[in-house]
Structure 1
Amino acid sequence: MNVRRLIPTAATAGAVALGLMAVSACSVSSAADGRDEDGKLKAVASFYPMQFLVEEIGGDHVSVTTLTRPGVEPHDLELKPRQTAELNEAGYILYLKGVQPAVDEAIAESEAKNKVDAAALTELEHHGAEGGHSHGEHAEGGHEEEHAHEGDGADPHIWLDPVRYAEVAKGVEASLAKADPDHAADYKKNAAALTKKLDALNAEFAAGLKNTTTKTFITTHSAFGYLADRYGLDQEGIAGLDPESEPTPARVKELQSIAEKEKVSTVFFESLASDKTAKTLAEDTGLATDVLDPLEGITEKSKGADYIEVMRSNLAALKKALGAK
């Protein structure tokens, strides 16, 4: 056995040390540049609707992580130190101001250069009143929603309207191209493909909900104001924009009257929040219950593997509940 081969020379040791220093420097440079060790743009999304956009448009050029794990209700998310560190090292952040207060604060304080608020890429509206009552265009006497800007109590659930979501997608494409200009052409191509899917989804909703027995639907989480406006429906929320808030006795009584008058057949609830209130109202009024997914996260219980599939499941549920012809 040649012992000398096991003992590195000074020159060899120096070369190894220099190599390690180079690798370390490269890693630090990549982190500072907002890229992973493979050179991909490190993107952080606040929750699923933002994650879907970055993955679809970013494609192979981005490495995406999400701050909200599947199955976690996003509104009350509290960030861990590791996630705060991810924000500081990110080359691109996409979030939606007004959905997650803790996330909004952490992103505002982060050192990332490219921080994009999806709410600034389209126009927000108020879908206010107790229970989140929202009228579509067919309402008697007309109903024009008050336009708003982020941070003043406007409804943030823009992703549930495929048209608005497509507007946001275009803004995401432009912002990704700014953060990573070398792949701008690919981002444009991917965004065009996604927009085509969203246009088709919009056409399906418009056709499927055009002729229905009733235009009114009741839901625990008043997340569907933009969808209602887009397709001429009336959303009647049991609670408000917060899925965990409880309705007043007066609101419950009002909903019972609305259900009878508008021939409502179904009370919708969501998979990430308690269905207790929905089932209680349904029992009191003799109505059925079903899931209308606000798409704040994809889990094993979701009726679809991604945004497009779950939205189509929502369409099927609405068609059934509203008596589509």
Structure 2
Amino acid sequence: MKSTPALLLLSPLLLSSPAWAGAPNVVVSIKPIHSLVASIMQGVGEPSLIVEGAASPHTYNMKPSNAAALQAANLVFLVGPGLEIFLEKPLEALGGDAKVVELSEAPGIEKLKFREGGAFEPHDDDDQHGEEGHEHGAEDASHEGHDADAHGAAAEEAEHHHAHGESEFDMHLWLDPMNAKAMAAEIEKTLAEADPANAAAYRTNLEKLNQRLDGLDKSLAETVAPIKDKPFIVFHDAYQYFEHRYDVRVAGSITVSPEVLPGAERLSEIHAKIEDLGATCVFAEPQFEPKLVNVVLEGTPAKSGTLDPEAATLEAGPDLYFQLMENVGASLKDCLSSAS
């Protein structure tokens, strides 16, 4: 191996480069958000990731290495209440050493309320969606057969809200690229305030990221346009932001939340919904038990597919967010286009 020339080491370009110099120590909770932070920190530093590999924030257990990373952090980015429940106590133990940024509170974020039950029955006293009162036709036909399962669904719903720390909003915010833009703006602002020496780099990276997000949004709209009217069932209700943005027709979920295994009544209800609404696909997720999908598919003409909303199968990094979203769109199109 050739040695590096001394003149190269003394290059004025390298001496003036801000890369790594004074960059804050940044920790991010989950892959999709880590991807946005990594995009904005390119050329400056690399954020650490807590939920690595195929793990899910819904079922994650902290490791000693995660605790050490948090103790050393200057900034911690997470989505918000109800998603990273495993972080609540470790973050309390941090004291005032790190700034914790909940991106669900970023200006411009659109938040949608949790939907009730596997068939997405609306709340009694409010719109089923969030702050803008969005309504979607996919749920209009979702009330049949609910009364017979009311007690079982209510019990599961109570567990669901407990598991999500009583948060009223769905925290899968990143599944709308416009929410990703709002989070990216907050990430850039926070980094620039913590590290003013590299503020110009963060701003340039944000501008590039916004251009990519706008292109992604347009591409996804084109991808799902041919299958917008075909109803489908998902493993858990993680997709209403994608549904809201692109007007696809999610008809229900097998389970309200991955922390709560569905009972026989809910599985029966979803099985009936496939037949009643003509749902053409049922989507599993790579982190969770596929047998439940097979149970609700049995005896129906619906096909199975896989969606990966938390990027369990993808390698962490700046491109992950775009791969995640493109994969969701492509998986929907592939299954729903081939289904009768």
TM-score computed with the length of structure 2 as normaliser: 0.73
The question of whether the paired residues in 1 share the 8 Å contact of 2:181 and 2:210 is answered with yes
- Please name the residue that 1:77 is paired with: 60
Please provide the CA RMSD for this pair: 2.8
Change (3 A) 1:292 1:227: same
Partner SS for 1:76? coil
Matched with 2:253 is: 237
Q: Name the structure, 1 or 2, with higher relative contact order (CA <8 Å, separation 6+).
A: 2
Give 2:279's aligned residue. Answer: 264
Structure 1, unmatched stretches of 5+, are 1-35, 144-149
- Quick one: which of 50, 66, 79 aligns to 1:67? 50
Kept in 2, the 8 Å contact 1:264–1:321? The answer is no
Amino acid at match of 2:100: K
Q: Which residue of 1 aligns with 2:295?
A: 280
The structure-2 alpha-carbon separation of the partners of 1:171 and 1:151, relative to structure 1 and needing over 3 Å to count, comes to farther
Counterpart of 2:115 in structure 1 is 128
Name the SS of the counterpart of 1:297 in structure 2. Answer: coil
Point out where structure 2 has 5 or more consecutive residues left out of the alignment.
1-18, 121-127, 142-164
Q: What residue is the counterpart of 1:310 in the other structure?
A: 324
Aligned to 1:219: 234
Aligned residue identity for 1:131:
G
Q: 1:54 to 1:221 in 2, by over 3 A?
A: same
- Structure 1 moving runs of 4+ over 4 Å: 134-138, 140-143
* 2:113/2:168 contact within 8 Å kept: yes
State the alpha-carbon separation in 2 of the partners of residues 237 and 72 from structure 1: 21
> Kindly tell me: are residues 257 and 83 of structure 1, through their superposed partners in 2, closer, same or farther at Cα, counting changes over 3 Å?
closer
State the distance in 1 between where 2:255 and 2:32 align. 22
Distance in 1, matches of 2:312 and 2:21, equals 28
Q: CA deviation at 1:153?
A: 3.3
Please say if residues 137 and 232 of structure 1, whose CA atoms lie closer than 8 Å, have aligned partners that are also in contact.
no
- Residue deviations 1:275-308, cap 9 Å, x none? 11012211232321111111243447x9xx7221
Larger radius of gyration: 1
**Matched residue, 1:115:** 100
Q: For the Cα contact (< 8 Å) 2:114–2:168, is it kept in 1?
A: no
Deviation at 1:183, TM superposition (A): 1.0
| Aligned residue number for residue 182 of structure 1 | 197
Q: Which residue pairs with 1:323 in the alignment?
A: 337
The answer to whether residue 217 in structure 2 is matched with residue 202 in structure 1 is yes
| Structure 2 Cα separation of the partners of residues 221 and 117 of structure 1 | 23
Tell me the distance in 2 between the aligned counterparts of 1:128 and 1:228.
13
Identity of aligned residues (%): 27
In the aligned structure 2, how far is the partner of 1:176 from the partner of 1:262?
47
Distance 1:178 1:233, change over 3 A: same
Count of paired positions? 279
Distance 2:208 2:201 in 1: 11
TM-score computed with the length of structure 1 as normaliser:
0.77
